[in-house]
């Protein structure tokens, strides 16, 4: 009993830290593992066996393969049709969601989102559809599509191996498809024709279609000597320029004027901290003669930012595993290490009045960076960001075309080998990833950069924690508490209860962590109820990937927050109905295909 209390305490403490976010989730998982090892609950010799777990190895391999598919443009031709056809919002959303779901079934969720998100933005601009109507459905589709195959999402891989721990064979590649396809199909239909109406519209000015619909950028402009606007008051300057900008502070030597008055005058060599969108910022530079701090940006006659022959301007959204997270521009040393200049930054709800060098980056921040065209892809990869524009891969290159075809061939061969049962999923996809290095589709450095190490570390550390929950009898205790509700609920409703608990959990912590914690409980519950373990494990798999109600439950939801202009509370408006729909659709499907 004492060991159970320690395990429960460690898990509850971990959940608190997962939600709190003060310590990154991979370190929370390592701390939990070390506590259990130091208390002897997890034997010291077994503490790090989780890092060799088939699910962990397969997740890493899938990330590498997904990166290769993105790099070679192997799937670009499949999505170009999305900018064609009618202007119906529902049709566009359905097309984007279907393509995202199909891709997400066979590659990493975030990889599918990375491919479709810039296309969704382009479709929105072309047809004057608010990006907020398109990006949340695309993010949700990346989660739904992952339900279809064993490799579609980490929870499926975890659940598959837990079935092996229950004394049965692991689930096969397409065992998830009957339930996954049904839930995904219903979800796409609902969101395409009803759900998107529940999304609050952001950036209502639809005429502004030349730039991405993000929050205003925080940027810095320098007043050069002899500028024509020196000695003008802020009121005079803004009236004369007729621009929608906000001068939030003036830095004059060592003095900072926060929220300056309209009567304050601009002086030579002042540094202005400006809040403005992309359009107004470029017009300000063109009209005023001010200098955008840290950039050699070129503008056309209309004031639009352009790239010169050697440099490119690109917008990227930061992932939660970016090396920039939690650091400011000085600590990151962007210019020296990444050969890039930070032109501006945008964040939902940004409120800083101080210099950009004090701005600490968070997941979902959008950076406007300038870098060499030759190193653009490498810079974006190192920063672990998603570019908010199509990558412009030159598919006419015969060498690239060959690599693209080889990538597709190896990928399909891995799927066929796994589906036919010739080799296990981990062997198949690790072989695929290694072959892509050997034939020079990706470099060894890109191989390691493609792996989301925080996810791998978290999984490797949490798997022994999940096993400890089972070996100490903790899972049986929780299952026993749930069994006490059986006099009120039928076995089918017990499945629903398991799904609801998992859904609530996965909206607060990483979906893989939710699967690791809930799978042992599902196994114990099946033993207590005297029913098959399959429907309960499938229930956990489906609900662990249903992180629709918050932007923190899954990376896909976090990454569209900035580009879509969403607030935290926007997600549940459509996410709650979709979650209920998953319960209503998923429960009868999994009980039909996997009877109790």
| Residue with token string 């009120």 | 488
d(CA 179, CA 147): 8
pLDDT at residue number 211:
37
DSSP-derived 3-state class of residue 276: strand
Among 158-167, 371-380, 506-515, where is mean pLDDT lowest? 371-380
- Over residues 41-48, mean pLDDT: 86
Taking alpha carbons only, the member of 584, 503, 495 closest to residue 549 is 503
Mean pLDDT on 402-409: 81
Hey, what are 13's tokens? 């403490």
Nearest to 354 by CA among 259, 224, 245: 259
pLDDT digits (tens, 9 = 90+) for 156-186: 888 888 887 777 788 888 889 999 999 999 9
Confidence tier at 212 by pLDDT (50, 70, 90) = very low
Confidence check: pLDDT of 469 > 90: no
How many Å apart are CA 4 and CA 2, to the nearest integer? 5
Residue owning tokens 């950069």: 449
DSSP 213: -
- Position 219 pLDDT exceeds 80: no
Is the pLDDT score of 392 beyond 90? Answer: no
Angle at 15 between CA 9 and CA 18, to 5 degrees: 140
**pLDDT at site 355:** 55
SS3 call for 311: strand
**Nearest alpha-carbon partner for 362 in 378, 380, 379, 345:** 345
Name the β-bridge partners of 274. Answer: 219, 247
**pTM for this prediction:** 0.69
**Burial tier of 445 (Cβ tally within 10 Å: 0-12, 13-18, 19+):** exposed
Euclidean distance between CA atoms 183 and 185, whole angstroms: 6
The pLDDT of 554-576, averaged and rounded, is 81
Q: Give dist(CA 283, CA 519) in Å, integer.
A: 55
β pairing state of 271-276 and 291-292: unpaired
pLDDT score at 205: 36
The pair of structure tokens assigned to 176 is 């998830």
How far apart are alpha carbons 592 and 55 in whole angstroms?
Answer: 27
Whole-angstrom distance, CA of residue 483 vs CA of residue 529? 7
Sign of the C-alpha dihedral, residues 546, 548, 549, 553? positive
Higher pLDDT, 176 or 284: 176
How is residue 291 written in tokens?
């200098």
Where residue 596 falls among pLDDT bands split at 50, 70, 90? confident
- CB neighbours of 205 closer than 8 A, spacing ≥ 6? none
CB 564 within 8 A of CB 202: yes
Domains in the chain with CATH codes: 2-204+451-593 (no CATH), 213-387 (3.30.70.1450)
Q: Which of 558, 554, 548, 535 is nearest to 578 (CA)?
A: 548
Tens of pLDDT, residue by residue over 75-128, are 555 555 555 555 688 888 888 899 889 888 887 787 778 778 777 877 777 777
- Give the pair of three-digit tokens for residue 274: 């400006």
- Return the HEC string of 106-173: HCCHHHHHHHHHHHHHHHHHHCCCCHHHHHHHHHHHHHHHCCCCCCCCHHHHHHHHHHHHCCCCCCCC
- Higher-confidence residue of 569 and 348: namely 569
């Amino acid at each position: 009993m004492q060991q159970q209390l320690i395990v429960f305490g460690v898990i509850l403490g971990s959940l608190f830290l997962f939600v709190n976010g003060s310590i990154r989730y991979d370190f929370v998982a390592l701390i939990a593992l070390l506590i259990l090892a130091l208390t002897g609950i997890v034997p010291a010799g077994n503490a790090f066996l989780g890092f060799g777990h088939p699910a962990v190895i397969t997740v890493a391999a899938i990330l590498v393969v997904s990166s290769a598919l993105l790099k070679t443009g192997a799937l670009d031709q499949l999505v170009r049709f999305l900018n064609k056809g009618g202007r119906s919002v529902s049709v566009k959303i359905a097309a984007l969601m279907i393509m995202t779901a199909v891709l997400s079934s066979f590659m990493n969720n975030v990889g599918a989102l990375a491919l479709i998100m810039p296309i969704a933005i382009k479709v929105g601009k072309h047809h004057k559809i608010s990006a907020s109507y398109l990006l949340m459905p695309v993010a949700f589709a990346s989660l739904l599509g992952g339900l279809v195959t064993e490799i579609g999402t980490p929870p499926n891989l975890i659940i598959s191996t837990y079935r092996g721990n229950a004394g049965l064979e692991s689930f096969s590649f397409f065992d998830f498809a009957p339930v996954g396809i049904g839930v995904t199909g219903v979800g796409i239909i609902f969101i395409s024709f009803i759900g998107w109406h529940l999304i609050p519209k952001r950036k209502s000015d639809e005429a502004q279609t030349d730039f991405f619909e993000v929050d205003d950028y925080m940027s810095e402009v320098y007043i050069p000597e002899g500028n024509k606007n020196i000695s003008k008051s802020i009121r005079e300057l803004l009236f004369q320029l007729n621009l929608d900008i906000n001068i939030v502070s003036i830095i004059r030597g060592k003095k900072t004027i926060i929220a300056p008055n309209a009567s304050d005058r601009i002086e030579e060599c002042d540094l202005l901290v400006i809040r403005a969108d992309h359009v107004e910022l470029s017009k300000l530079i063109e009209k005023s003669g001010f200098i955008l701090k840290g950039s050699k940006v070129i503008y056309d006659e209309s004031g639009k930012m352009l790239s010169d022959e050697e440099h490119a301007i690109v917008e990227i959204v930061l992932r939660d595993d970016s090396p920039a997270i939690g650091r400011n521009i000085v600590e990151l040393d962007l210019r020296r290490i990444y050969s890039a200049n930070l032109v501006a930054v945008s964040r939902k709800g940004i409120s800083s009045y101080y210099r950009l060098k004090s701005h600490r980056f968070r997941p979902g921040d959008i950076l406007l960076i300038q870098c060499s065209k030759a190193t653009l892809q490498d810079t974006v990869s190192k920063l672990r960001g998603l570019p908010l524009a199509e990558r412009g891969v030159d598919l006419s290159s015969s060498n690239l075309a060959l690599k693209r075809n080889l990538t597709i061939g190896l990928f399909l061969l891995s799927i066929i080998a796994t589906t036919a049962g010739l080799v296990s999923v981990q062997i198949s996809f690790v072989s695929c990833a290694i072959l892509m290095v050997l034939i020079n589709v990706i470099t060894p450095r890109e191989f390691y950069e493609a792996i989301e190490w925080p996810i791998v570390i978290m999984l490797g550390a949490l798997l022994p924690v999940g096993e400890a929950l089972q070996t100490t009898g903790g899972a049986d205790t929780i299952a026993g508490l749930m069994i006490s509700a059986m006099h009120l609920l039928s076995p089918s409703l017990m499945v629903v209860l398991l799904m609801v608990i998992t859904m609530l959990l996965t909206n607060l912590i990483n979906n893989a962590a939710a699967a690791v914690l809930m799978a042992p409980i599902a196994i114990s519950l099946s033993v207590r109820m005297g029913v098959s373990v399959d429907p309960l494990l499938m229930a956990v798999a489906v609900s662990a990937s249903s992180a629709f109600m918050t932007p923190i439950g899954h990376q896909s939801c976090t990454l569209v927050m900035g580009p879509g202009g969403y607030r935290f509370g926007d997600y549940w408006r459509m996410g709650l109905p979709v979650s209920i729909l998953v319960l209503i659709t998923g429960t009868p499907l999994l009980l039909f295909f996997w009877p109790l």
